[in-house]
Amino acid sequence: MKVLETGFNKAFESRIRLGIMSVLSVNDVLDFNALKEYLDATDGNLASHIKALEKEEFIGMEKSFIGRKPNTRYFITDLGKIAFSNHLSALERLIQSQK
């Protein structure tokens, strides 16, 4: 995990990833389609960002079946919560300092 000096987290350097973290931090679990709706992203794009966040262990997933259809649901991990809130604080600090 790369944390820059200022407290910024490289893992959150894209709009979609910020979106995923924001949405998951206020919802217990969300499935792929719900994420897609909220973020207005394409399947491939969203999947690659999810994978990146999963690799950092900021989000986790659970697989289940609805009838016969597989359903993947995502949630934010404790590590992810801390990292995201640090990132937000860093953003705030930066904006404050530049005022």
Partner 1 sequence: MNKEKDYIKDLAEIRQMMERSSKFISLSGWAGILAGIYALVAAYIAYTLFNFKPGEESSITPSDMLNVILLALALLVLALTTAVFLSYKSASKRSEPIWNATSRRLLLNMAVPLVTGGIFLIIMISQSHFNMLSSISLIFYGLALYNAGNFTYKEVKILGVILIILGLISACFISWALLIWAAGFGLMHIVYGIYIQVKYKR
Binding residues for partner 1 (CB under 8 A):
15, 18-19, 22-23, 25-27, 30-31, 33-34, 37-39, 88, 91-92, 94-95, 98
At its nearest, how many Å lie between partner 1 and the CB of residue 56?
18
Q: In this complex, which beta carbon is closest to partner 1, that of residue 26 or of residue 66?
A: 26
> Could you give the CA distance from residue 86 to residue 89 in angstroms, rounded to a whole number?
5
At its nearest, how many Å lie between partner 1 and the CB of residue 55?
22
Q: In this complex, which beta carbon is closest to partner 1, that of residue 68 or of residue 96?
A: 96
Contacts 24+ apart (CB under 8 A), 89-94: 89/7, 90/6, 90/7, 90/8, 90/9, 91/8, 93/6, 93/7, 94/6
